[in-house]
Structure 1
Amino acid sequence: MKAIIVDDEKHVREGLMLLADWEKHGIDHIMEAEDGEEAAALIKEHNPEIIFTDMRMPRRDGISLLKWLHAENTASKTIVVSGYDDFEYMRHAITYKSFDYILKPIEPDVLNETLERAVHEWREQAISKSAQAEESRVINEVRPLYWDQLFSALCLKKELSNDAEEKIEKEYGVHFSSVKKTAIVLSLKACEEDREAAAASIAGLCSEHLKDGVCFKNVNKEDELVLLLWKEKNPLAAAEEFIRLVKQKLKLNVLAVAGSTGIQLNETYGEAEAVLLTHDLRLKKTLAAPRDKGDKSLLHLFDFSNELKWAVQSGSIPQTEAQLVKIFAKLEQQHHLSLEQITLWEKQFELLRSNWIKEYEVSHKEGFYSGKAYWDSDGHFSMAKFKEEKTKEFTELITILSTVKYQKEKNNMQQIEEYLQQHYQEDITLQEIADKFYLSREYISRKFKQDYQTTLTDYLTGIRMEKAKSLLENPYLKIYEVAYGVGYQNEKYFSKVFKKYTGQTPNEYRQTK
C-alpha cells in the first residue's frame, strides 16, 4: 500500500513519518508533498490509498485539495491533520468526505489508531466493492458531530451566522432565529448503563418520534443531552411523553429539566441549566420546570471541619457517624438536596480528606472510595443512598488514618493533645499531665506551644468552648448542664469564659442558633 503526506512544514512531515507504524499497516511506499499542487500530481501518478493533508498551505491549500479529491472520486482515505480546531475546516472536511480530522500536536496513539481504522476501512471497501456505501456510513457517523458542535455553541451565545441558519433550515425545515423553542436538558447522571451508548440510543429515539425538534449531545458538559423542541403547542407535555418513552423502550433513567419557551436558545438553555443545578432532587420530578428552581442556601462541610476532624482522628466510627447524623439532619431540614449541593459536598470533602491525609503524612497510592450511587432503580435521587455513600467515604478515611496512627510511634505532644480531647470534661492540671507522661511541666508548656501555637490551657479552653457551642444548640439543656458537660463546676465562671471566647454570653449565642 502507498501513502502520501501533504504539509508545507518539513518537521511535521518528518514527525508523521516517525510516529506512524507504517509496516504494521502494510504501507511500504510513503511520498511527501509540500502543498496541494505537488500532491495532486503525485496522487494522479501513484494513486495512494492513504492521504494525510494539512489545511493551511501555499499555492493549493487543504480545502482545495479536498475539493479536487472529491471531484476525482478517488477511493483513497484522506485524513486531515490540522493545528486549527475550526468549525469551518471541520465542515469542509465533512463535506468533502475526509475520513477523520486530527489536531496538532499529534499524539502517536491517536495517529496510529486513526491510520489503522483508515487502512482497515479501505481494505474492506476494496474487498466488498462497496466504497460508496462505506463513505456514506462514515459521513453519517461524522455528521452528527457537526450538529452537536453547532447547537452546543448556540447554547452559550446569541449569534447565528447566515451560513448556519441556512444549514439548519435545509436540514430541519425551520427558520431557527425566529422560531420559538424550548430547551430540555437531559442529564445522564442517574444512568447506570454505558453513557455513550445511552446518549446515542436517546438521540435515535428522538429522531423516530419527534418531528419538530432535535436531540444533541452538549459538548460543553459531561453526560448531558439537550432536547430542543420548536412548533410544539405544549412542549412540556411533549417532553414528558418522550422521557416516558426513554424509560419504557430504552430502560434508561434521566434527570430532565426544562427552560421557558423563547426565541433565544442560550436563554432557554441557561434557565434549564439553572433548574438542573438547584432544584430539590427529593421532589422526584419526571420533568422539573422553571418554577422548581431552588433558592435555598448551600450547606458547607467546611463549617463542621473541627467536629469532623475530632471525630475522624479519634478513630471511632460510631463517633463519626453520630456527627454525620447531625450534619445530614441539618442538610435535610434547612437545605435543598440539589446537584449543586452534592457537588459542593464532594469538593469540600475531597479537600478536607487531602488536608488530613497530609497532616498524618499518609502515603496512600491506591484510589479512594468515591461514592456516587445516589439513585434508586427508577432513577430518582435517594437520600438514604446519599447518606450511605458519604458515610462509607468517612469510614474508609478513618480506617486509613487509624492504621497509620497505630503504625507510627506517637510523639509526646500528640499523646497529650489526644488526652485533652478525650478528658476535657475533667479537672485537668498541668502537673497531672506532667506526672502522667513523665515530663517536666516546663518542657510540656514550651513544646506544646511550639507544636500547636497556643498554650495548653488555651487549647483545652478551645476544646471546651467548641463542645459547649454544640451543646447549646440543644434548647432542652440548661446553661449549668452545659457548663458541667464541658468540665466547669461553676456556671458563672463558665459564662465568663464563654463570653471571652465567643464575644457572646451562652444565652445570646443560643438565641442566634
Structure 2
Amino acid sequence: MIKVLLVDDESWNRDIVRTFGSWEEHGMEIAGEAEDGREALRLTEELSPQIVITDMRMPGADGVMLMNNLHAEYPEIKVIVVSGYDDFNYAQNAIRYGAVDYLLKPIDPKELNAVLDKCRRELEEAERGQRAYALDIEVSLCLSSYKQLMRVHFNELNTEGVNLVLAGIRRELELGGAKGSAAFRQAASEMLLLLKELMRGNRLEDELLKAEISHDALASAADVEAYLKALYGGSLELLIGQRKFKNKLNLDEVRQYIDGHFAEAVTLEGLARAFFVSKEYLSKVFKLEYGCNVTDYILGLRMDKAKEWLADENIPIKTVAELAGYEDVGYFYRVFKKHYGVAPGEMRKQNASLKMSNSEG
C-alpha cells in the first residue's frame, strides 16, 4: 500500500481529506497525521510515506518550511498542497518545491481523487524505472567478466574460446533471472559494441556490424547467442584472413599489440596463436629484437603505467592495480615492491613529499 501523511493544524480539515479520498481504490492508506511541519518531518522519518498532503498556513512550522525540508531531504515524496487562501505566493512556493498539485479549500472530492490517481501513476512509473535500472546493472555486471575473456580469446583468434564465452552469456541470461527482451537487447547491444571495439582495434571494418539488431535475435537467450555467434564468427574469419595474408612475422606489430593489451591476460601461447607462429620461435626472435622476453616486457609496461597512475592521488591503489591488469591487490603489491624496491603506498608518499618540496622551493 502507498503510505499517505496528512498535515493540517485543524483536525476537521484532516477529517474532510480522509473522508473524500478513495484510498483503497488507489491502493493507498493514511499512515499518520500531523498538526504542523515539525511533527510532519518527524513522522516522515518514522513512517516513510510516499505522499504528503499538507496545508500551507499553520502556526509555527508552516507548509513552506515543511516543503522546503521535504524537497531537500526526501525529493522522491509526492506533495499535494491544500490551502484555504487563493494566495499566489503560496502557489509559487508549492511549484518551486515540486508540489504535484495545489488544491483550494473547500476541497472538491473529484479534484482530490484525480490528483491521488496522478500520484499513484507517477509512483508506479518511478518504481518500474528503478526495476529496469536494477536489471540494467545486473546484466552489465554479469557481462563484465565475460567481456574480459572475450577480448583475450578474440584477439588470440581462439574461436572455441569465443564460442564458450557466448554460451556462458546464454546460460547467465537463462539462469540468472534476467528474463525478457529488454535484458536480451542489452546483452546483445553490449556485446555488439565490444565487437566493434575489437574490430577497430585490429584495423578492420565489418559491414555485418552496421546492421540493426533484429527482433528475431532477441526472442530468447539462445537466439541472442546464435546472433552474436554469427557476428563474432564472421569477424574472426576476416581477422584470421588478414593475419594469414601476412606470411612474415612482423615483430613491430606484435609489440604494438602487447602495448595496447598489456592489462589483459596476454600470454606467450596466445600471442603465438594470434600471429601463426610457434611460441618457441616467437620467444626467441622477440628477445633478440628487444633484449627481453615477452613476459618481462609485459611486466615492465604494467609497472611503468602503475607508477604513472600512482602519481595521481585521486586514483585509489586498488584501482591502479586493476588498471594495470591485477585483480589481486595483494599480488600487485608484491610484484610492485619487487620491481621498484618500495610498496605502492610508499611510492605515493614519496611523490607527495617531492611535490610539496618543489612547491615550497
TM > 0.5 fold call: no
TM-score normalised by the chain length of structure 1? 0.29
Using CA pairs below 8 Å that are at least 6 residues apart, which structure has the higher relative contact order? Answer: 2
Structure number with higher helix proportion: 2
Flag the structure with larger Rg: 1
TM-score by length of 2: 0.39
